[in-house]
Every structure is written in C-alpha cells, then in structure tokens.
C-alpha cells in the first residue's frame, strides 16, 4: 500500500484555550495544558511523534482580517472543525473565492459527518439551508414558560444580561400582563444597588422582584391562567430564612488565585446533582455576590459564556428557581450547561473516527481522483454499518452563495429599521461580518476602518431610519445588493412589503426565502450499498441534528425552508436505498441535521508529500 504523508507546511487556526472538559474527548491535551492555547499545544504534541513536519499554529479567530482570500489561496486543502454556523459559512465563502477545496466535519455525541466541497464540482457548504436556531416568542419566555429551556433562556438572555451586561441595552424583565401597574415603585432603579444596602439585602431584593413580585403581576391576568397551571410566587424569606444565609460562603473557601465559584464557596461538589430549591437560592445569592465583589471590573460588559463557571452556576440556579415557580422539573448544573451552551457532549471515539475520515478525504482531494465521499457516523448500526458513505451532490443552482441566486425578503418597510435588516438578516441569516448595502447606486450602509468621520455618522444615522424613509427609500419591489468584501461574497435581495406577521412563528417580522434545495434524485437512480461499495445520491448531504433530551435542539416547523428535506431513509437488511418524502420517517426515527462540533479548529495543508507539492499562488 502506498504511504502518503503531509510533511511540508501545516497551519492550524484556533482561538480557544484548553478547558478541563476538553480532556475526555481528544488525545493531544493533558491536565497540565489547561488554560493554554489549543493550537500551540496541539502543534507541540504532534511534533513529538512527527518531528520532521512543519506546523504553524495561530491562536486567533479565523474571521480576523489577516485570514483573507489571499491567505487561503496558499493552500491545497482546508480542513474544517469549527463549532458554529457563522464561522463555517465564513470559511466556506473564502474557500470558494480562493478556489481551494474544503473538507467539512462535525460531531455531536455518537453522530458525526465529513463532507467535501469543491467549487464547481460539488455543492458548497451553504447549498442546502441550515435549520435556524430554535427561537421562542418573548411572551412565552417572560410570561408562560412550559419547558426548562424557556427558563434557561430567561435566566441567560434576560436576567444575566440585565444584572451583568450592558446597562443601556433594552431589557424588559417584567412579566407581561394586562394589568396597568408598574413592576415596582422604583422600576427604573430596581436592579441598582443603593449605597446603604449590603450584598445580602441587594440579592434578596432582586430575588423577590423577579421570582416574587413579577409572578404575582403575571397572576393578575386571570385570562392567561384559565387553561394553565398557575405559577407560585417565590420570596427569599420563605425559601431561605435569614439565619440560613449566614452559612453562605463559609464552606470550602477557595484561595484568591482560584476562579470565583458559588459551588466551591457553598461546598457543592457534584455538578450532576440536582439542587433543591433552598440550594438553588443559596447558589443564586452567592453567585450574585461573587460577581459584584470578585469580578466587579467586568460588570457592564459581561455576556453569558458556557465556559464561565460562575455564569453557569448563576444561570442554573436562576433557571431552576423559575422552573420551580412554574412547576417545571429542576435540572442539574451539568444538564443546564448543556442546554444553555447548546451542547451535546462529545465522545472521543466519534471524534477519532471523524478525524480519520477527514484525512482520507483530504488525501483524495490532494490526489485529485474525484472519488469523494460524504460519510455519516450513525448511532445505531444499519445493515451492520455504522459509517454511511454518500456521493456528493452537484452545486445547487438555487444557492445564493456559489450560484449567486437572488433572495427575497418579506418585511414591513414602514416599520422595520435598517438596523433590523443589518442585524437580523445580513449578519444573523447571511453571516456577513463587514457588510456593504446598496440600493441601486446609493450606498446605504458600510463598515470599515478607513471610513471618514462624516460617512460613519451618516451610516449610523441610516441605521435608525425605517426602510421606507432612507435617502434611497426601500419599499416593495426594491432590489438591494449586499456585499462582504472580506468574504468576496455578494447577493441580491428582492424586497416584498408585508403588513402583518405571526408573532409566534415569525417573531423577527421578517421572512427570508430563496434557498430552495436541489431537485430530488430519481428513484430509479438508487443503488444498493454494501460495505465499501459505491453509494448513490439518494442519501442526504444535509442531515439534521439528532434530537437529544435537551429541548434546545428542537426544530420547529416554522423554521423549515422551502422544499422538502433530503434525509437518511430507514432501510433494513437486503433492501436498497430509496429517497422517501415522508418527513416523519427518518433514520432511527430521529431528526438529523448538520452537526457542529463543540471544538473549534481550522487546519490548512500546503505541500503534500514530496511529489505532490503545489506551487504557492502569489498573494
């Protein structure tokens, strides 16, 4: 068997540092590496058993301007293991612009996949629409939560942000009610600590306001609770008597060099234990105190981070207290962290399998044999197979990224501001980082370091104007051109004015369409699959996340894109693969979608072996 090596230049881009939770799902990091750069430690580990190769690590964000199209043009192939959709889109567009093949990958639990994307030959990463993250109406989060994930979203996006984030950001923690009374006598200052308050008094006041008064306010709307179980107001004095609070902070004190932790202060050691209401209350008060005493300089600039232990403790406790009020089962910190961080915990074996598949496909790309496979790791064997190889699909002619097909946007042009369009569509949906927006020849918005002061002021003023009142009005029938110069990506968006939207299904009051999927394969094109045999295109290139126990992975019907999903059909011994259109009949009776790894790595290979080196393109 011929032996192939990557022995000239190898680059790795990773902005993460090693966490303790990383140690159980990979083979390069050790306990002594915690806190160090993943990219640099990985380089050192690999060089110990392959000392002759050249590896250049970058402890940086792949979206930094240094990693532009010219940078990508140096390489023979890019290997992707990023942990979020935005970064994956960014790399996909840079690879398309640089005409460099991309090997994508992802794992979640026992599931995983490796896909190959070659410009003009296979579909790009964005040829098929990616399911949008699950969103929830504000009224459900603030007024009528029915699932633990609703309580997590409330604790993370509302309460945590209000207490520790940007004070100027709009944030309504008052439970919606038809009652006209205010949330408190001093509603504007309820989250501000007065000079004569100690931390326990302040913590209890916040507790009583959000878990007591706000719940009573919600109960005043009797119509809401006719067919629902009424919540129970929680007051700190009823859960934690004054004498019990004195126990806070006395157990297992951490030294000054250790990160602040409410669990450590209170002697709570097992993150998989489910705390009782009293324990959650103590963690809530202790975490609040630690934030304002040990991390005072960060207050006002904090946002929730799943790797921030104190933040996870606070959000877990707050979510559990709210869950108890609304008769929702409590969860452990381990479970709450998974929901809050959209985490399905990784398995080292799956990661190792996917890593091997990445290398196999990279060798095929470098040999230019064209026999690529998109391979899916299954949780349960099917026809005695855990790995399912699939031939890549051709580029989708309706893709707005690689085929530059125009999109359409339904929006109320008399109500929505340009800022809404930029934040919710251009950045959130299209994944652009440095957008430029034009209406005909008029430039409506642009970002960049080289802009004049008056231009910046002009574009900032435009952000606060509704679309129909811009210098070049955007109304029904307008065609907008949106461009990201860093990604070398341009798309046209046709505007359709629409008056009303469904608050439950369309909370953003915008509907972007145009990502229609490729036509389904003909049924007579199917072929049977044997271990190692050729596969047909009847299997999907767009699997969906397996639904786990955490509701955060739910995919609602309201987020489905036009066209039917291609899926992994269920089949048994001796039968052939067939593409079914039944949306409920999926592999192992589960929904599967593109998997995002919990790790964040980008690897680029240049000069493969001794005889396959490609001349570097001039930058």
Q: Residue 5: what pLDDT?
A: 54
Percent of the chain with pLDDT over 70: 74
Distance CA 200, CA 285 (A): 7
List, in order, residues 6 or more apart from 126 with CB less than 8 Å away. 89, 92, 93, 399, 400, 401, 402
Q: What are the boundaries of each domain within the chain? A: 61-131+343-403+515-619, 146-327, 407-513
| Catalytic residue from among 139, 181, 371, 400 | 139
Q: Give domain 146-327's CATH architecture.
A: Orthogonal Bundle (1.10)
pLDDT digits (tens, 9 = 90+) for 59-71: 888 888 888 888 8
Q: Is 23 annotated as a binding residue?
A: yes
Q: Is 158 annotated as a binding residue?
A: no
Q: Residue 175: what pLDDT?
A: 43
- Going by their DSSP bridges, the two strands 407-411 and 489-497 should be labelled as parallel
Distance CA 610, CA 608 (A): 7
CB 239 within 8 Å of CB 278: yes
Distance CA 461, CA 419 (A): 10
pLDDT digits (tens, 9 = 90+) for 459-514: 999 999 999 999 999 999 899 999 998 888 898 999 999 999 988 788 889 998 87
Q: Is 85 annotated as a binding residue?
A: yes
Whether 370 shows a pLDDT value over 90: the answer reads no
- Going by their DSSP bridges, the two strands 9-13 and 601-606 should be labelled as antiparallel
Question: Is 400 noted as a catalytic residue in this protein?
Answer: no
Q: Is 127 annotated as a binding residue?
A: yes
Question: Right CATH number for 407-513 from 3.40.50.1370, 3.40.50.1220, 3.10.290.20, 1.10.10.10?
Answer: 3.10.290.20
Q: Residue 552: what pLDDT?
A: 33
Mean pLDDT for 309-313 is 94
Distance CA 514, CA 178 (A): 39
Instruction: Give the 3-state secondary structure percentages of the chain, helix then strand then coil, rounded to 5.
Output: 30, 15, 55
Q: For residue 62, list its beta bridge partners.
A: none
**Predicted confidence band of residue 10 (pLDDT cuts 50, 70, 90):** low
Q: Is 402 annotated as a binding residue?
A: yes
pLDDT digits (tens, 9 = 90+) for 230-265: 999 999 999 987 655 555 544 444 444 456 899 999
pLDDT digits (tens, 9 = 90+) for 440-462: 888 999 988 778 888 888 999 99
**Run of H or E including 353:** helix 348-367
Q: For residue 390, list its beta bridge partners.
A: 374
Distance CA 555, CA 594 (A): 12
Question: Right CATH number for 61-131+343-403+515-619 from 3.40.50.720, 3.40.30.10, 3.90.1150.10, 3.40.50.740?
Answer: 3.40.50.720
Lowest mean pLDDT among 8-22, 247-261, 323-337, 357-371: 247-261
Q: Look up residue 172 and give its DSSP letter.
A: -
Mean pLDDT for 337-346 is 80
Phi and psi angles of residue 215, each rounded to the nearest 5 degrees, phi first: -70, -40
pLDDT digits (tens, 9 = 90+) for 390-413: 899 999 888 888 887 889 999 999
Q: Is 174 annotated as a binding residue?
A: no
In angstroms, how far is the first alpha carbon of the chain from the final one? 37
């Amino acid at each position: 068997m011929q032996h192939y090596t990557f022995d000239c230049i190898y680059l790795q881009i990773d902005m993460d540092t090693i966490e303790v939770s990383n140690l159980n799902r990979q083979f390069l990091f050790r306990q002594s590496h915690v806190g160090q750069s993943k990219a640099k430690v990985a380089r050192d580990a690999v060089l110990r058993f392959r000392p002759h190769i050249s590896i250049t690590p970058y402890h940086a964000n792949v979206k930094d301007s240094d990693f532009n199209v010219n940078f990508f043009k140096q390489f023979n192939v890019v290997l992707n293991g990023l942990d979020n959709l935005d970064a994956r889109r960014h790399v996909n567009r840079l690879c398309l612009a640089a005409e460099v093949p991309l090997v994508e990958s992802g794992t979640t639990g026992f599931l995983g996949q490796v896909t190959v994307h070659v410009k003009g030959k296979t579909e790009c990463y964005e040829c098929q629409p990616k399911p949008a993250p699950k969103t929830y109406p504000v009224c459900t989060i603030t007024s009528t939560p029915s699932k633990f994930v609703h309580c997590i979203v409330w604790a993370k996006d509302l309460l945590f942000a209000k207490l520790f984030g940007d004070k100027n950001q709009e944030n309504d923690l008052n439970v919606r009610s038809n009652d006209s009374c205010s949330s408190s006598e001093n509603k504007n200052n309820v989250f501000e600590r007065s000079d004569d308050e100690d931390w326990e008094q302040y913590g209890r006041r916040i507790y009583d306001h959000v878990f007591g008064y706000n719940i009573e306010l919600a109960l005043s709307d009797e119509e809401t609770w006719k067919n629902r179980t009424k919540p129970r107001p929680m007051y700190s004095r009823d859960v934690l008597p004054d004498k019990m609070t004195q126990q806070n902070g006395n157990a297992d004190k951490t030294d000054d060099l250790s990160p602040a932790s409410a669990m450590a202060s209170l002697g709570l050691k097992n993150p998989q234990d489910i705390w009782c209401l009293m324990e959650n209350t103590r963690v809530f008060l202790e975490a609040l105190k630690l934030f304002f005493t040990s991390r005072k300089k960060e207050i006002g600039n904090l946002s929730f981070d799943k790797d921030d232990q104190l933040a996870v403790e606070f959000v877990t406790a707050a979510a559990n207290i709210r869950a108890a009020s609304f008769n929702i089962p409590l969860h452990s910190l381990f479970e709450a962290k998974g929901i809050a961080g959209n985490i399905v915990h990784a398995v080292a074996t799956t990661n190792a399998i996917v890593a091997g598949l990445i290398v196999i496909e990279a060798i095929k790309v470098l040999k230019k044999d064209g026999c690529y496979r998109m391979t899916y790791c299954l949780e349960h064997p099917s026809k005695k197979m855990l790995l399912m190889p699939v031939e890549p699909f051709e580029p989708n002619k309706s893709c707005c990224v690689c085929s530059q097909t125009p999109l359409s946007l339904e929006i109320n042009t008399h109500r929505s501001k340009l800022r809404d369009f930029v934040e919710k569509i251009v950045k959130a949906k299209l994944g652009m980082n440095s957008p430029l927006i034009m209406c005909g020849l008029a430039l409506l918005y642009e970002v960049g370091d080289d802009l004049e002061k008056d231009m910046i002021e002009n574009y900032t003023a435009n952000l606060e104007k509704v679309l129909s009142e811009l210098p070049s009005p955007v109304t029904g029938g307008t065609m907008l051109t949106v461009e990201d110069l860093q990604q070398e990506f341009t798309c046209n968006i046709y505007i359709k004015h629409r008056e009303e939207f469904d608050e439950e299904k369309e909370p953003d009051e915008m509907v972007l369409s145009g990502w229609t999927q490729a036509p389904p394969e003909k049924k007579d094109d199917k072929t049977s699959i044997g271990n190692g045999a050729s596969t047909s295109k009847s299997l999907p290139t767009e699997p969906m996340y397996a639904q786990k126990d955490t509701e955060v992975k739910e995919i609602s019907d309201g987020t489905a894109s036009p066209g039917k999903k291609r899926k992994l059909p269920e089949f048994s011994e001796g039968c052939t693969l067939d593409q079914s259109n039944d949306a409920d009949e999926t592999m192992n009776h589960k929904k599967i979608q593109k998997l995002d790894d919990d790790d964040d790595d980008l690897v680029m290979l240049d000069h493969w072996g001794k005889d396959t080196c490609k001349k570097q393109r001039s930058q």
